[in-house]
């Protein structure tokens, strides 16, 4: 799909180690959006501008996420600390050449560009919609706030109900709690593990959150709107 494996593996491993920790999780850094009111108060540039109404802009912005992932993967190849960066660079270049060659070979230039825009826009929208229900709207931690492994993974994650359709649409990531506790577990087994994990959390008194897909988006957007509140309610110095 044109994403760098080494870059994604490093980023996602750091996310799994400290989910929703604004000091340690790369997925909640104030890159374009702000995820907490502290980030909003310190925001400058685009995050400061967009953060005011980011809940309303969230899904439109996801249409750019596919392009962002490709650009980030390409930029990561320049990082000498990246493992197998030469192989990643070769594979990414091959993907780009084959994709663009096929596109402009079978379509006129105008239609090829239109197809590229729509394809990548839908790619970003789908991926963003896939990941948004998992952690957005869940508690945000700080660097010095690191509970034990079980609570760190369960309290910052949300499962999404919906049966077989949700399993297919979200690729098994709707069982996000089990995915974080057992990241190497095959997706078909996550539903079975859910029964044991939920029972164990009930025994320990650990909150285990499950909700429907629409409700998960509502919680995520509400959290984004609340995070941007300082940018709307008072003047924030640039």
Banded pLDDT at 237 (limits 50, 70, 90): low
Provide the pLDDT for residue 164: 84
Asked whether the beta carbons of 103 and 115 are under 8 A apart, the reply is: yes
Asked whether the beta carbons of 138 and 155 are under 8 A apart, the reply is: yes
Q: Which of 152, 158, 129, 201 is nearest to 25 (CA)?
A: 152
pLDDT at position 187 over 80 = yes
Phi, psi of 94 (to 5 degrees): -65, -45
Provide the pLDDT for residue 234: 61
Q: From CA 156, how far away is CA 141, in angstroms rounded?
A: 9
Q: From CA 229, how far away is CA 36, in angstroms rounded?
A: 9
Provide the pLDDT for residue 230: 94
Domain boundaries, the chain: 5-233
Query: Considering the chain, what percentage of its residues have pLDDT values greater than 70?
Result: 98
pTM here is: 0.88
Task: Give the residue carrying structure tokens 């970003």.
Answer: 124
Provide the pLDDT for residue 31: 85
């Amino acid at each position: 799909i044109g994403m760098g494996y080494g870059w994604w593996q490093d980023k996602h491993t750091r996310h799994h180690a400290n989910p929703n920790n604004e000091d340690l999780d790369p997925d909640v850094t104030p890159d374009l959006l702000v995820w907490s009111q502290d980030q909003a108060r310190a925001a400058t540039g685009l995050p400061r501008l967009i953060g005011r109404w980011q809940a309303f802009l969230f899904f439109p912005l996801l249409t750019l996420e596919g392009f962002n992932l490709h650009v980030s993967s390409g930029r990561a190849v320049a990082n000498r600390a990246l493992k197998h960066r030469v192989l990643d660079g070769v594979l990414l270049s091959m993907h780009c050449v084959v994709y663009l060659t096929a596109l402009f070979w079978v379509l006129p230039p105008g239609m090829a560009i239109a197809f590229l825009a729509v394809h990548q826009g839908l790619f970003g929208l789908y991926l963003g919609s896939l990941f948004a229900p998992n952690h957005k709207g869940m508690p945000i931690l700080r660097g010095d706030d690191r509970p034990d492994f079980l609570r760190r993974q369960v309290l910052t994650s949300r499962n999404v109900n919906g049966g077989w359709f949700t399993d297919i649409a979200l690729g098994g990531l709707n069982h996000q709690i089990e995915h974080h506790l057992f990241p190497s577990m095959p997706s078909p087994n996550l539903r079975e593990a859910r029964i044991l994990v939920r029972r164990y959390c009930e025994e320990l008194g650990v909150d285990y959150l499950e909700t429907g897909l629409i409700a998960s988006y509502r919680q995520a957007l509400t959290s984004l709107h609340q995070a941007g509140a300082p940018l709307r309610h008072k003047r924030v110095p640039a």
